């Protein structure tokens, strides 16, 4: 159902409300480390207008996209295979159960030690952060595929590999994309975290450099920028997702009454 009227502008109103509260609180507290909303917003153009900062932000995005894409490309087939083969699941499940609760950023020091502070380490952390939810949801999605749907395909002459790509993958797609959406947000989080630890370039680096130098308006401006990036990416992904799995969304139309 498409939101109409007041519900369309509701998110905007909520954002505006947040900014008003922020502005009022900052004015009331009058603290150097708490700039007003207007000050923070005023600092945004100077960050986005600065070539150096733009290069940094673009480098962050690039790592994030590469890490995310690699993770999806590997995790989806792995998760699907785990969901359909007891042997594959038995092999990988314990491994993933150990990795799952470990905050991926906590692995950063070791990874930095081995792979340096460059793109490879940061992309790897993003990759790890995205992988687990995508594997998990692909696994659950594949497991839930109705056996008889697969049999129907087998009776039509689909081979095991064809069944994986042409029946299990599309049937599990809604669940897979739910995992990818979680993964996308985690990619953003691990991106910033990795740059906070390996401070060499990126959006997280700008943020923490500004903090070191006491440029609090820049700090808050960067938080707004990163947040906006997250909202834009998530919205764009949600659009694509909704399009791909329209066939599975519950509709509010009554089913046709006809035998």
User: Applying CB under 8 A, which residues contact another protein?
Assistant: 146, 148-149, 151-158, 167, 170-171, 173, 245, 247-248, 250-251, 253, 255-259
CB of 90 to another protein, least distance (A): 17
* CB-CB neighbours of 119 under 10 Å: 18
CB closer to another protein out of 171 and 203: 171
- Token match 């490879």: residue? 120
Helix (H, G, I), strand (E, B) or coil at 41: helix
Task: Give the CA-trace dihedral at 187, 188, 193, 195, to 10 degrees.
Answer: 100
Smallest distance from another protein to CB 176, Å: 12
Q: How far is the CB of 6 from another protein (least distance, A)?
A: 30
Tokens of 17: 């409300």
Shortest Å, Cβ 249 to another protein? 8
Distance (Å, rounded) from C-alpha 20 to C-alpha 235?
A: 24
Q: How far is the CB of 113 from another protein (least distance, A)?
A: 46
- Burial of 158 from C-beta contacts in 10 A (0-12 / 13-18 / 19+): middle
3-state secondary structure of 117: coil
Decide whether 4 or 259 has the Cβ nearer to another protein: 259
SS (H, E, C) 211-235: HHCCCHHHHHHHHHHHHHHHHHHHH
d(CA 34, CA 2): 38
Closer residue to another protein (CB): 98 or 254:
254
- What is the token pair recorded at 33? 């480390």
Give the ranges where the chain is alpha helix by DSSP (H): 6-29, 37-49, 51-84, 86-99, 108-115, 119-143, 147-155, 160-163, 169-197, 203-212, 216-244
CB of 141 to another protein, least distance (A): 13
């Amino acid at each position: 159902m498409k939101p109409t009227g007041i519900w369309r502008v509701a998110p905007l109103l909520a954002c505006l409300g947040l900014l008003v509260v922020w502005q009022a609180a900052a004015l009331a507290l009058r603290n150097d480390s708490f700039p007003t909303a207007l000050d923070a917003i005023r600092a945004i153009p100077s960050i986005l207008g600065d070539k150096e900062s733009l290069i940094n932000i673009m480098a962050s995005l690039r790592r994030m996209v590469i890490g995310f894409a690699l993770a999806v490309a590997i995790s989806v087939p792995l998760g699907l295979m785990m969901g359909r083969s007891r042997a594959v699941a038995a092999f990988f499940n314990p491994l993933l159960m150990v990795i799952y609760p470990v905050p991926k950023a906590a692995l950063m020091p070791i990874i930095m030690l081995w792979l340096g502070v460059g793109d490879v380490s940061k992309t790897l952390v993003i990759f790890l952060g995205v992988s687990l939810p995508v594997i998990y949801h692909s696994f659950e999605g594949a497991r839930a595929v109705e056996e008889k749907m697969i049999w129907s395909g087998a009776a039509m002459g689909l081979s095991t590999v064809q069944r994986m790509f042409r029946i299990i993958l599309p049937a599990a797609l809604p669940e897979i994309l739910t995992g990818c959406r979680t993964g996308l947000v985690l990619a953003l989080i691990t991106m910033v975290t990795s740059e906070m630890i390996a401070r060499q370039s990126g959006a997280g680096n700008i943020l923490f450099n500004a903090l070191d130098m006491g440029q609090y308006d820049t700090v808050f401006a960067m938080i707004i920028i990163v947040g906006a990036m997250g909202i834009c990416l998530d919205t764009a992904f949600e659009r694509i997702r909704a399009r791909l799995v329209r066939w599975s969304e519950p509709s509010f139309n009554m089913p046709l009454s006809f035998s």
